[in-house]
Each structure stands twice: as C-alpha cells, then as structure tokens.
Amino acid sequence: MAMALGAAAAREQICAALTAIDAAHQVLRETSSDLVGNDFRVEVAERLEFQDRINRGLMYRIFGELADPPDGNGSIAAVRAALWKRLRITPREITRRCRLAARIRGRRSLTGADIAPELPALAAAVESGAVGEDHIRAVCQAVDVLPAVVPPAEITAAEQALVEHATRVDSGVVAKLGQRIVDHLNPDGLFSDQDRARRRGLTLGRQGPDGMSKLSGLLDPQARAYFEAVAAAVRPGRHLPDGPEERDERSPAQRCHDALKLGMATAISSGKLGTHRGHPVTVVVATTLAELNQAAHAAIDPAIAMPPPAHTGGGSRLPMRDLIAMAANTICYLAVFDDHTKRPLYLGRQKRIATAEQRLICYARDRGCTQPNCLAPGYHCEVHHANPWARGGHTNANNLYFACGPHHTDTTDGHQQTIVTTTGRLGWTDGTTPPHINHAHHPEELLHGNPDPPDDEAA
Ligand SMILES: [Zn+2]
C-alpha cells in the first residue's frame, strides 16, 4: 500500500524517484550490451518486461486517480484534453485506461470505509507487476462474458484462478482457460435479457482504401428479427441494385448486405428519424459544381476521368458514381458548392432552413472539427461563431465554423481563441502560439510541403 505523505512531500518524493529512473535509463542506453552473452540478455529482457508491467500498474493508478481524484473534484473534460495533448494517446485509449483503472482500484466510500476493487486479484497482480497488458485483457474478457446468473463468489473464484495462471503462463493460454471456465460455469449458454442487453453492439470499422468498411458485432434478438424480415424482402430477384431487368446473381451474403442498405435507406427516406442539429436526419454529401459536372460526363463518356470521391458528413469518402445513384433516389442530401466561394448552389430537396444552410457550408469547407488535429467528423460538430455573439458576431456563413462539443467548450470558456485566416479557414490558438488550422480533414494539404503555410495565418 502507498505511503501516506503530505502533498509537498509526496510530489517531491515522486519527482525524485522519476528523475532517478530517467538517470538509470540514460545509463542503460549508454551502456553497450554487445558482449554480455545471450543468457544475460534473457535476464535483462525479463527484468525490462517486469519493469514495463510495474510501469503499467502505476499508470493505471494515476489514471484511476485522474478520473476520480481522491483529493477533490477536477473537470474530467479538461483532464482528458490535457492527457490527449501531452501523452499523445487517442481519446479511445484514455477512456479504456480510465475504465480499467476504475475496475482495479479500491476506493473510499463517503462514510470512510474501504471499498474493495471490482477485480481484486487482478488489481493486486497489476500493481505488483506480475501481469502484462495482454494478460489483463484475457482475464477481463473471460469475466465479462459470464452471464448475470453466475453467483458473485463463482466470478471471484474464476478471476482468482485466471490471474493465478496469468502470473505463470502467457496470455494465449489464459484466454483458452477463460473460455473453458466460461463453458463450465454456463454449460447451457444461458443468458438473461440483461446479459444480452450488455453484450449487444456493432462496430463499424475504418473505411478501407477501396471504400469498403467492415461491420462486426452482436445483434440482440429484436434487432435480428428486424434484420431477418428485411433480408426476406431482398429475396432473389427483388430489390436489385440496377433495376428489375437485371439477372439476380447475388450471393446470400450480398443480398443480406443489400437488405441492410435497403432498411437504412427506407428509414431515412421515411423522414421519421427526427432531426439532427437542425437537419432532418439524412445523409449529407458535399461536392462542388465542377466535380459533379465532371462526374455526370464521366458516367456517359469513358474517356473522362471520374473526379475524386465526395465527402459525407460522417467523414467518409463516397465515390461520385455512388453519389449520383443515391441522389437519384432522393435519399441523400446533396449539397453542391460553387468551386471558389464554397457557397451552396443547390441544397437537395429540403426546404431551405437558415441553420441547415449554414451547417452545409461548414460541411463543404471544414468537413469536421476545425481545432488542429481533431478528427471529429461534421456529424459530431456544433456550429461555432468565430466572433462570439457577446462581441457582436453575426450568424453569417463567413463567421460560422465546425467545432466538436469539447472543442466548442474550449472556446466558450476561453481556453482557446479562434481567428478567421486570410484563406477563410478558422485558426486556433491558446494565446501562446500563432493560430493554426486543422489539416486532419484535408489530407491533400498535409501532402504538399509545409503543412501550415504562412498564408493560413491570421490576417
Ligand atoms: Zn474537435
């Protein structure tokens, strides 16, 4: 258990220990291991692995304390932003570490009594450096698939057995043992509604270079029933992608895919999904007049090249041929922009709504959050006034930019200032550096020389 010290003494002791480790690392880096022999190298590898695990244990302790400080309340949003910036780890990894830390960390209740961690055996093994990241994953996966009917004492026994093995064998063996324990504790595969609700989930993978995306996950029985019904409608010869004259040569898997697409397209065109930030829920695709024109000609003349893909509000690429097909079915919200002014020339079939039009300009120009290096796509963004209302800003398209929720908050609480650059983009600064624009949604800008040309700086 950690030693109790006053704040100043604790900070001093922690800094001194970290400095000593840095100094020792420096010695290790500078000492040649060319002549030490392989027996010795194995020993060194073992000790490095152990130290790495000790380090992870300390990291989880700090993440647990950051997320739920024992010495008061902090703003978790500010902490997450600081971790993202200084550790350069993804928001998803920050969430993962905080969640795991919460499961392996003891806490003090309001009455002052100690509350044991959810996974006490794993907690002790992580703290002592006995297990690594892959062991932790294997133990958690096995425990997490146990249904709610398994009594808590059995779950604790399973956790103890797995952790005990994790200190002696590799994580692959632990994962197999975990599967056997699960089969043993739940031989009939009994799952309650609560288990199913906990395990349901779909993950849409990254869009590949070919434009395709992997979908994986578990459907609950209701979702499967809907899916089956739509899949039955897409039986051979029905709902063919290129019309009824075509011969149906689709595989069952391809018809299943088309059923999912049909179900979602029908849901969107029903108009019953409500509104999202001022737009009826729909697919937003932004392109320019020149590219649309080129695509229309390319569709009938093979000598003309297809322009590059358009961008959806979700941050994905949509080939122009698909865009034209979707627009013909009135499902998608096509926004066409003038090539130079980025002003909308055509706004689909939707009634013109001031706020919707302004968002569309942001989709075309910003594509996503404008804060440098933020990857949040347009669907996740709020509209930010470059000149805040308080200082006389107007709801004018030249004055409105995309910012995701957390980054929008950074501007309203004064952590960040924004300035419109001479190129009409939004520059961000914390006041200590010149304003920078976000190139993350404009990869073409990252590839051509200086990623932040002086032209981008504030006027
Ligand atoms: Zn952002």
Instruction: Report the percent of the chain where pLDDT is more than 70.
Output: 85
Quick one: pLDDT at residue 160?
Answer: 94
**Which one is predicted more confidently, 359 or 77?**
77
User: What is the distance in A from the centroid of ligand 1 to the CA of 327?
Assistant: 29
Question: What is the residue-averaged pLDDT of the chain?
Answer: 83
Give dist(CA 15, CA 101) in Å, integer: 22
CA of 409 to the centre of ligand 1 (A): 10
Residue 205 CA to ligand 1 center (angstroms) comes to 21
Q: Give the model confidence (pLDDT) of 306-341 as tens digits.
A: 888 888 888 888 888 888 777 666 545 666 666 666
Q: Find the 404 Cα to ligand 1 centroid distance in Å.
A: 4
Q: What is the DSSP letter of 306?
A: P
Domain ranges of the chain: 44-185, 213-270, 276-357, 366-456
Amino acid at 381: C
Tell me how far the alpha carbon of residue 265 lies from the centroid of ligand 1, in angstroms.
29
Comparing 77 with 135, the larger pLDDT belongs to 135
pLDDT tens profile 83-140: 998 999 998 999 999 999 999 988 777 777 788 899 999 999 999 999 999 999 999 9
Does 351 have pLDDT greater than 60?
Answer: no
Q: How far is the CA of 378 from the centre of ligand 1 (A)?
A: 10
For residue 240, the model assigns a pLDDT of 79
Tell me, what's the pLDDT at 353?
42
Grouping H, G, I as helix, E, B as strand and the rest as coil, residue 458 is strand
Å from CA of 386 to ligand 1 middle = 15
- Higher pLDDT residue, 64 or 77? 64
pLDDT of amino acid 93: 95
Residue 186 has pLDDT above 70, yes or no: yes
Residue 384 Cα to ligand 1 middle (Å): 11
Distance between Cα 372 and ligand 1 center (Å): 8
pLDDT of residue 344: 57
Alpha carbon distance 257, 107 (integer Å): 47
Pairing between β-strand 283-288 and β-strand 310-312 as defined by DSSP bridges = antiparallel
Q: Are 436 and 452 in contact (CB under 8 A)?
A: yes
> 389 C-alpha vs ligand 1 centroid, how far in Å?
20
Q: Mean of the pLDDT values across residues 396-415?
A: 82
Q: What is the pLDDT of residue 193?
A: 83
CA of 311 to the centre of ligand 1 (A): 18
Q: Which parts of 186-284 fold into alpha helices (H)?
A: 193-199, 221-233, 252-269
